[in-house]
Amino acid sequence: MSQDLSILHLILHAGIIVQGVLLLLITLSLISWAIIFNKWRLYSQTRREAEAFSQTFWSGTDMDTVLTGISQQYPDSSLPNIFQAGYREFMRIRRDASQGHSAKITAGGGIDGVRRSLDAAFSREIEKLSRHLAFLATVGSTAPFIGLFGTVWGIVNAFQGIAMTQNTSLTAVAPGIAEALVATAFGLVAAIPAVVAYNKFTSDLKRMGANMEQFSSEFLNIISRHIKG
C-alpha cells in the first residue's frame, strides 16, 4: 500500500513529543523572522538618517539650527542623538560660564563632561541597536539540537514500533523515520536564517558603531576649540 509521506501528514500524525518540538521550532522561527525584518528596517533607517545628518552637520549649518531640527527630522536616530547629548552638555557648560562659574569650565573639566555625555549616548544607542540580536544567536546555536532531540525521540519510537510488530519492512519503518527527520529539517530551517541574519547584523552594527565613534571624536575636537582653558 502506498503511504502518504507528505510533510503535513507527517506532522499531523507525529507523536506528541515530536509535535511539541516542531511547534517550538516554528515559534522560534517566526520570532526570529520578526526580529530580522525589524532589524533590517531599523538598520536601514539608521544608516539613511546618519548619512543625511552628517551631510547637514558638515555643510556648515549652525549647531543651534541643527539641534533645533533634530526633533522634527530625526526624532529618535542614533547619530543625531549622540550629537544632541554632547551639544546639550556643551551648552550647559557655556551657560555656567555666562553665569560666572569659571571653575566649571576649565578645558579639562569641560571636555571631560562632553566626552562622558557622548560616551553615555553612544552606549545607549549601541544597546538599542543590538537589542534582540542575542536571541538570533541563541536560535542559531540551539535550534539544530532541538530538532535533533525530536529526531532521536522519533527514531526511538519507530524502533519500538518495529519491535512490537516484528515488521522490519521499509513500508513499516519509513513513516516513523520520515517523521523523525522532519524535526531535524525544521531545526535547520529555524537555525540557518537566524545565523545568517545574526552575522549580517553584527557586521552592520560594528560599522555603524565605528561611524558613531568617529563622529564623536570629530565633534569633541570641534567643541574643544570652544572651551577656554
Query: For 198-201, which contacts have Cβ atoms below 8 Å and span 24 or more sequence positions?
Result: 198/133, 198/136, 198/137, 198/140, 201/39, 201/43, 201/133, 201/136
pTM more than 0.85: no
pLDDT score of 104: 47
Number of domains in the chain: 1
pLDDT score of 33: 97
In tens, the pLDDT along 19-56 reads 888 899 999 999 999 999 999 999 999 999 999 999 88
DSSP structure string for 190-211: HHHHHHHHHHHHHHHHHHHHHH
Domain span including residue 190: 7-224
More confident residue, 226 or 170: 226
Distance of alpha carbon 166 from the chain centroid: 52
- pLDDT grade, residue 210 (50/70/90)? very high
Are the CB atoms for 9 and 174 separated by under 8 Å? no
C-alpha cell at position 124 = 545607549
Q: Is residue 2 part of a domain?
A: no
Q: Is residue 131 part of a domain?
A: yes
In tens, the pLDDT along 96-129 reads 767 655 544 554 557 888 899 999 999 999 999 9
